[in-house]
Structure 1
Amino acid sequence: MSHIRLTLASTAAAIALVGCGHRMHHDHAGMQHGAMNPNAAATAPAKVSASTPTLAGGYKKVEAPATAKLYFVNLGNGATVSSPVKVVFGLSGMGVAPAGIEKAGTGHHHLLVNVNEWDANAPLPANDNFRHFGAGQTEVSLDLKPGQHTLQLVLGDQNHIPHHPIVASERITITVK
């Protein structure tokens, strides 16, 4: 019984620390990299198919808590940056696990670069526009050409399929000088 109490106390302490870390990162978003444009117009969302809990072939999608949030720690809509662009991924309400590992409450990051449309009921493709971080990475340094680019984070399960409900960041536009 004392082991259970200790585990619960440790879990509560870890959750409290994660919560504090999330607020700290969120409060500093945009201050670490790139000039922010407070007047930037909101970026239009990508066209995404409606998420279904079970796919046509019978695959049951991994559930995500409604409180899960995915966000950019160091970039915001309208940021002006230089290449290479450091992108730090933020996640609260869930954990990160490598691709291929089935563990409740976890997933791994995918960064969508200049993607206008994607399917919430299929594995995310792997290419220059759909970048996979299947080893559990939480940041990347991107070489991007000068100009405007859209970025969006999507959490995928062990098979690169978005969770149900979808866990995705807002879609932002950055300008690379």
Structure 2
Amino acid sequence: MIARIRTLHPYYRPNMTRTPTRRQYLTASAVTGIAAFAGCIDNSDGADEPDENETDDERVENIDYTSPNGELAFVRPEDGAEVSNPVAVEMEVENFELRPPGEDTVPESGTGHLHVLVDEGCVEPGYVIPLEDGYYHLSDGGREIEIELEPGQHDLCAQAGDDIHNAYDMTDEITITVTGGEGGGNATESGSESGDGNETDSENGTGNESEGGNSSDD
């Protein structure tokens, strides 16, 4: 049974001196009770038919963010290394499927992408890894990234997240020092991608100086 409640015209002005009768009180109470009962029936019917959003939430809840089977570690730079810009970061994973996040991708356990967090600390499992400065998302599903950092000491956290950036307790942490110059030792530590070019230039420069010295001796 559906109760119909009569609405008053917006310009209707009731007689404020008239006192409601007992019958009016009883009628109003009955209408309120019927409406509440009808609402309970509607809610119970809706609870038996979960919508798509509830299904998606249930799948996310089934993911174990605190005890994943996968493992994650930095390959380079090493903990305590001195490096120069750009800082080449490489990670490796085991028992974890890397894939780019998509708009229609449903998160699944043991899948996702990697992140590098700089001076922010690792994110608590199950919480979203922000899209902010200091949080680098490898949204291509890769394992390598180059980062420009200010000279000085920095704490890096490698962390895996699912397709909607919820964090796994799958991390590795290191501390590095970024130097301001292009010293040979620092360039070597930073890896072959950016270091070899600088070293080659410095060697050529040394060679030119020695040639210049020979010409002056002549």
**TM-score bucket of the superposed structures, by smaller chain:** 0.5 to 0.7
Pairing 1:135-150 to 2, within 5 Å after superposition: 135-150=140-155
Query: What displacement does 1:135 show?
Result: 2.0
Higher fraction of helix = 2
Aligned length: 118
Query: In the aligned structure 2, how far is the partner of 1:106 from the partner of 1:117?
Result: 18
Tell me by how many angstroms 1:61 deviates.
5.3
TM-score (norm 2): 0.49
2:73–2:92 contact (8 Å) kept in structure 1: yes
The structure-2 alpha-carbon separation of the partners of 1:167 and 1:117, relative to structure 1 and needing over 3 Å to count, comes to closer
> Which residue of 2 is the match for residue 125 of structure 1?
130
Question: Percent identity of the aligned residues?
Answer: 32
The equivalent position to 1:155 in structure 2, one of 148, 154, 160, is 160
User: RCO higher in 1 or 2 (8 Å CA, sep ≥ 6)?
Assistant: 1
CA distance in 1, matches of 2:136, 2:150: 16
Residue 114 of structure 1 pairs with residue 115 of structure 2 = no
Amino acid at match of 1:149: H
Which of 134, 137, 142 is the matching residue for 2:139? Answer: 134
Contact 2:122 2:159 (C-alpha < 8 Å) held by counterparts: no
Secondary structure of the 1:118 match is coil
Give the conservation status (yes or no) of the 8 Å contact 2:70–2:110: no
Deviations 1:46-97 (A, max 9, x none): xxxxxxxxxxx86415236754111111222101111111001211111201
The RMSD of aligned alpha carbons is: 2.2
Question: Residues of 1 paired with 2:85 and 2:61: CA distance?
Answer: 40
Unaligned runs of 5+ in 2: 1-56, 180-218
Matched, 1:89 2:91: yes
Residues 1:167 and 2:170 are matched in the alignment: yes
Name which one, 1 or 2, has greater alpha-carbon Rg. 2
Residues 116, 136 of structure 2: 8 Å contact kept: yes
